[in-house]
Amino acid sequence: MPGHDSLRKHGWPDGHTGDGYYRRLEANFDWYSAEYDASIAGNIIEGYLRSVSTKTLESLFREGDRVLEVGCGTGIETIEMLKRGVHVHAVDISSRMIERLSRKAEEAGLGYMLSVSRGRASGIASIGKDRGLFDGVVTTFGAFSSEPHIGDFISGAHAILKPGGLLVAGFWNRFCLFEMLLYGMELRRRRLSERMRGLSTRGNCRFSLETRSYSVHDFRRLTDGMFSTVMVKGLPVLSPPPDFARRLERWGGLLPLLLRLDERVNGLPILNRLGDYLLVVARRKLN
């Protein structure tokens, strides 16, 4: 498979790639599932990330399209796709997250357009195998960065997408402008250097998990020969990462103002590579 050699170089610490790691991942997100929606709704920056991802998905997929979403969580973006007539097969490592999404879809009368599987991002080739080819594979703000076998996810997405189908991936960025400025000045370098080296340890992530960061260049190498990158957005670039939202609340209108600016610049060259997260759209090659 093209691109596969470069995937091997994206290491993960020993002992964090097997069944034990995935059990811990599931337990963490099962635990967070009850408070997940409230924690997103209560954080203006988290809300901004989902508003951009939702609008991007709306612009990419039409009524009748079929999307496989990985790391769907409670379905904040899934429900919006269903409302627009997109059929979604939603996958998550956490059974509690899937239960919440299924309940929300039933309550909204959209359950008939949704199917679900509990599973790993790296297992999508077998999850999607007998379901026909998809128009899109979507994964935002979580699973891409906490999947140790990312090469299997990417080759799996290639296998289950129609030629010309879209991979939409939101993941933790290696180069975050805000943190470079803040931590550079404050001399609190540990988190910054972990992020820039590509792997954050458990204590640095709000879900207490190892988290892998990727640059646009890393993403291109990972998908080389299988996908062409067609869009990159930095989320957010000028505003701080979500963890900082509470600390800046006392500045009143500052965050809404910064986020309005962010919406204007998130796709501009150079700035679009410097967000806390990156939202990347890549088209499956015809081969």
Ligand X SMILES: C[S@@+](CC[C@H](N)C(=O)[O-])C[C@H]1O[C@@H](n2cnc3c(N)ncnc32)[C@H](O)[C@@H]1O
Residues that bind ligand X (CB under 6 A): 25, 29, 50, 70-73, 76-77, 92-94, 97, 120-121, 140-143, 146-147
CB-nearer residue toward ligand X: 141 or 175: 141
Kindly report the three-state secondary structure assignment for every residue of the chain: CCCHHHHHCCCCCCCCCCHHHHHHHHHHHHHHHHHHHHHHHCCHHHHHHHHHHHHHHHHHCCCCCEEEEECCCCCHHHHHHHHCCCEEEEEECCHHHHHHHHHHHHHCCCHHHEEEEECCHHHHHHHHHHHCCEEEEEECCCCCCCCCCHHHHHHHHHHHEEEEEEEEEEEEECCCHHHHHHHHHHCCHHHHHHHHHCEECHHHCCCCCCEECECHHHHHHHHCCCEEEEEEEEECCCCCCHHHHHHHHHHCCHHHHHHHHHHHHCCCCCHHHCCCEEEEEEEECCC
Strand-strand pairing, 66-70 and 87-92: parallel
Rounded least distance, CB 137 to ligand X, Å = 12
Rounded least distance, CB 274 to ligand X, Å = 20
CB-nearer residue toward ligand X: 26 or 186: 26
CB-nearer residue toward ligand X: 27 or 270: 27
CB-nearer residue toward ligand X: 31 or 180: 31
Q: How far is CA 35 from the centre of its chain?
A: 19
Rounded least distance, CB 147 to ligand X, Å = 4
CB-nearer residue toward ligand X: 49 or 237: 49
Rounded least distance, CB 12 to ligand X, Å = 11
CB-nearer residue toward ligand X: 101 or 255: 101
Rounded least distance, CB 64 to ligand X, Å = 23
CB-nearer residue toward ligand X: 76 or 110: 76
Strand partners, 172: 277
Rounded least distance, CB 191 to ligand X, Å = 18
Rounded least distance, CB 277 to ligand X, Å = 10
Dist. CA 253–CA 148, nearest whole Å? 39
